[in-house]
Structure 1
Amino acid sequence: MKTTTKIIERVCPRCQKVFKTKAYDILNINLNLEMKPKVLNGSIFDFKCANCGALFRNPYSIVYEDMKKKYIIFLNMEDKNYDKKIEKLEELYPEYKIRIVSDMMDLIEKIYIFEVKLNDKIITYLSYKIYQDVTRKLLDMKSPIKISKVLFDSFNPSKNQVNFGALNNFQKRIFISATYTDYKTLQNSLKYMQCFKENLGEYKIDQNWARRI
């Protein structure tokens, strides 16, 4: 797909004025490599109010494509129905992974996972199990810290580590590591092998998906 733009409306959180601005509709990152850092640090979703000059971040729906690594991610912020578009993409690019996320952080996480060539289904399942384990331990400790989500952070093969970060109500930097051996064990597990394959119609690979398996 080629990169395309659209005009969207934003509401300034300071002066409450509504203004129109240009944004990406489809972003083919291979054709616009200069935008990759802005996606990964979230600044692609930063806006400046045309009225008062206030700077603010407000994510919007975007389709992110990486032709080299063969995946497409839909960031769906407006509960759009992408069924027909996905059906067409599956015909055009049968070898692509297609994902739908509804949060900016989930989009960034998926990109990082695919960058290091890991299976996002296994990573999502691992992060969910970590979420359950850490939440249980915090409750046992009667800690005021509450974990809202665990996200993939990085992969360090030389140290046999898959690293995760836990989002929490105190905005503390909490990092947890699993071993790459854990990842490989899940990858080779007869119990989960079918779950971790690409299955037609499975595009939302998130905590709810992990809970179901």
Structure 2
Amino acid sequence: MPEKKITKAIVCPMCGEMSKADVYTSINPSVTKGVRRRALDGELFAWKCPSCGYSARLTYPILYNDMKNRFMVYFIPKIDHFQLCDNELEEKYSNLRNISKRIVPSFNSFKEKIFIFESGLDDMSVELTKLAISQTVSKKLGGAEIHDGYLSMYDRERNTMGFTYFTGEKHTPYVQTARLEIYVKSKKIVDSLAYKDKKLKGFLKIDREWAENILYRYKRMKHIEKLNKLKE
């Protein structure tokens, strides 16, 4: 499936003039050369008013369909659903198996998901790893609040992955690296507790909230196991 785009009317927030812009509804890096770079550096979302020259980044739903690496990332700004079933897409790709399909609410999470899947990683395990390490970062910084974070580095040969977090009142960036053993442990937890999620159809929102639920269930399971041992 090649890229698809539609023409939309845009009202400039600076001068109020109306113009038209081409926005992409679907892109396929396996088919269209250079579209991956244009998506990741924000060029696809860039807009400039022809009347006054005001520049802005447009945000609109776009499907990133990487056929080669077998994943789809649906960027729908500010979406808060856990699951999205697009019947037309499901029917169109009903013969394909083992395709990871995700929905994301922001440009940063859009870029992160692409990086995760291109690196051959399991995004559920990455989210759980990110959450676990964020708690360590918070303790390091004296209990500072961790607002957000994303996978920013992965080096399989050096057995290392790194996350960039936004911390404290000023959302100061903080980079924390970790050994891949944490990711491996997270993957075991995910395989044990998220097997039902892995079987769900449609596009899933796998984020911090999802990881917090998995971590809660894991800690509860361990607590129950401990209680059972004490009863023996």
Q: What TM bracket, shorter-length normalisation?
A: 0.7 to 0.9
Q: How many residues end up aligned between the 2 structures? A: 207
State the secondary structure of the residue aligned to 1:92: coil
Question: What's the CA shift string for 1:150-172, capped at 9, x where partnerless?
Answer: 10112112221111111345354
The structure with the largest helix share of the pair is 2
How far apart are the structure 2 equivalents of 1:18 and 1:195?
A: 51
Amino acid at match of 2:192: Q
Specify the alignment match of 1:73 in structure 2. Answer: 73
Pairwise CA RMSD:
2.4
How far apart are the structure 2 equivalents of 1:128 and 1:26?
A: 31
Rg larger for: 2
Question: What's the CA shift string for 1:120-158, capped at 9, x where partnerless?
Answer: 110011112223333344353xx6xx5321101121122
Question: What's the CA shift string for 1:149-199, capped at 9, x where partnerless?
Answer: 110112112221111111345354421112111112222x3x432345522
Question: What's the CA shift string for 1:66-91, capped at 9, x where partnerless?
Answer: 11101111111275965323532551
Specify the alignment match of 1:105 in structure 2. Answer: 108
How far apart are the structure 1 equivalents of 2:92 and 2:210?
A: 22
Q: Aligned in 2, Cα 1:167/1:12: closer, same or farther, shift over 3 Å?
A: farther
User: 5+ unaligned residues in a row in structure 2: which ranges?
Assistant: 215-232
Which stretch of structure 1 is more off in the superposition, 44-53 or 114-123? 44-53
Q: Calculate the TM-score normalised by the size of structure 1.
A: 0.85
Alignment equivalent of 1:96, drawn from 74, 92, 99: 99
How far apart are the structure 2 equivalents of 1:51 and 1:176?
A: 45
Specify the alignment match of 2:25 in structure 1. Answer: 25
Matched, 1:58 2:61: no
Identity %: 25
How far apart are the structure 2 equivalents of 1:11 and 1:111?
A: 31
Which stretch of structure 1 is more off in the superposition, 59-68 or 172-181? 172-181
How far apart are the structure 1 equivalents of 2:36 and 2:14?
A: 29
Residue pair 2:10, 2:19 contacting (<8 A) in 1 also:
yes
Residue pair 2:131, 2:212 contacting (<8 A) in 1 also:
yes
Query: 1:104 Cα shift?
Result: 0.8
How far apart are the structure 2 equivalents of 1:209 and 1:90?
A: 26
How far apart are the structure 2 equivalents of 1:133 and 1:9?
A: 47
Question: What's the CA shift string for 1:76-123, capped at 9, x where partnerless?
Answer: 127596532353255132221111111111110000011110111100
